[in-house]
Amino acid sequence: MQASALAIITMRREVAARYARMTRLWLAAHHAYRRLHAAPVKNLTALRDAAQRLEQLDRGRAALRSDLKALAD
């Protein structure tokens, strides 16, 4: 069964909003990581946690990006 055009548009908007939110979270995590990395005294635990968070958000963004591309076709 095919989804209606309205349902597809709604899904695109929802995925786009989630992608925008994920991008904002990724940027905040990226800035936190850079700040920790640039600190004169490195907190390695916090730096590792920030790197893991950045990686998780990056994977989430990639998944949402592929969903957006699939919905665009």
Is the separation of the CB atoms in 19 and 64 below 8 Å?
A: yes
What per-residue confidence (pLDDT) applies to 25? 97
Distance CA 45, CA 48 (A): 5
What per-residue confidence (pLDDT) applies to 5? 84
Annotated domain spans of the chain: 5-72
What per-residue confidence (pLDDT) applies to 1? 53
> What is the pTM assigned to this prediction?
0.83
Calculate the CA 67 to chain-centre distance.
Answer: 13
**pLDDT one digit per residue (tens) for the chain, 73 residues:** 567 888 888 999 999 999 999 999 999 999 999 999 999 998 999 999 999 999 999 999 999 999 999 988 7
What per-residue confidence (pLDDT) applies to 8? 86
